[in-house]
Chain A
């Protein structure tokens, strides 16, 4: 029977309302790095906001990548577990290897405008069924032997990122 293999994406938005120590470190350090790196694309000091830089300064979209180095160490400190996403018994369980950092908004003169996101893309999971708002998934395929499963609720900023239907004999 066919089985569907999916990956999830959790877009964790971090801004001036950050509360946890991890979020505050990501917020502060990504802003500091943004202010440093933005100067390369703002050599005449004409622009304030990230949106202005994107619109007027060629290459400024590289700032997503350039600023991401400020959060690399913090992503590594998560030990490969997607934050915030809990299974139905309240445990973090979703593993990731890939992520993408993005600057949503920022302003070199106003830190409160700084808003970033880290998009965590999960390792592949087998999707067996949907029970209301809960997805029944497992890391291992169901080959006729017992597999351990997780139930994960659908929630804001959490989506199915990719899907692949595979035949299992």
Chain B
């Protein structure tokens, strides 16, 4: 429901309304319909064909990565700072760090909303910051990627989580998974306390439809830190590469 409202607000706010003086006029208005003045429709000399560009060439495009490619994925979203250190290991090499893997992560903001715009209409949006809290990094020689983000909020039906999609260097999917968070006294989940929402109605890992089968806790990251200094998340995810 919250996500639906969020989408609606995006759609409503997508196209900036023209700013005009809209005070009422006291005098009688002469109603003139644009496009009906005498002489229109005749002798314009243009009938569907357009002139070729006649101007200086440029700008010249440069090859650019997807806007996901950055370490800091915060994009102005407010929340407790969190550094996420994710190591990708290779099951086929004794879980040693896998270099040059592409790692996508995405998660919701403090209110529990993902960056998305949807619907089938023709709504346009400004291109600034529409992909907030989504990022991509390439693993270093030790298989490590590091993201700077905020501690995720939560939404109804799910425990706190981060989505991860791991690809090989050529973009072929190796693993789609999610990272879970430790719970209980002293945990970051308890410290953040769902931001302004609290934790009433929160879905804990044991009842979560994704994490409940993870009785060994291998999807649960190590999370240290506190709300004043920020949190640090660390986990190793092993894939077959």
Give residues in A with beta carbon < 8 Å to B.
1-5, 7, 9, 21-22, 25, 29, 32-33, 35-36, 39-40, 43, 61-62, 65, 68-70, 72-79, 86, 88-92, 97-100, 119-121, 124, 127-134, 141, 153-155, 161-162, 164, 166-169
Contact = CB atoms under 8 A, between A and B. Distances in A.
Interface string B23-39: 11111011110110101
17 contacts: A1-B29, A21-B61, A25-B61, A36-B173, A69-B66, A72-B67, A72-B131, A90-B52, A98-B125, A119-B124, A131-B39, A132-B43, A133-B47, A153-B46, A164-B20, A169-B21, A169-B26
Nearest to B120: A61
Interface of B is mostly: loop
Given A32-B171, A161-B122, A40 B176 contact: yes
Interface in B101-129: 102, 116-118, 120, 122-127
Chain B, interface size category, equals 35 or more
A99 B43 CA distance: 35
Interface of A is mostly: mixed
Interface of B: 14-18, 20-27, 29-32, 34-35, 37, 39-55, 59-68, 102, 116-118, 120, 122-127, 130-131, 134, 165, 167, 171-173, 176
Nearest to A143: B21
Contact of B40 (A62, A75, A91, A130): A130
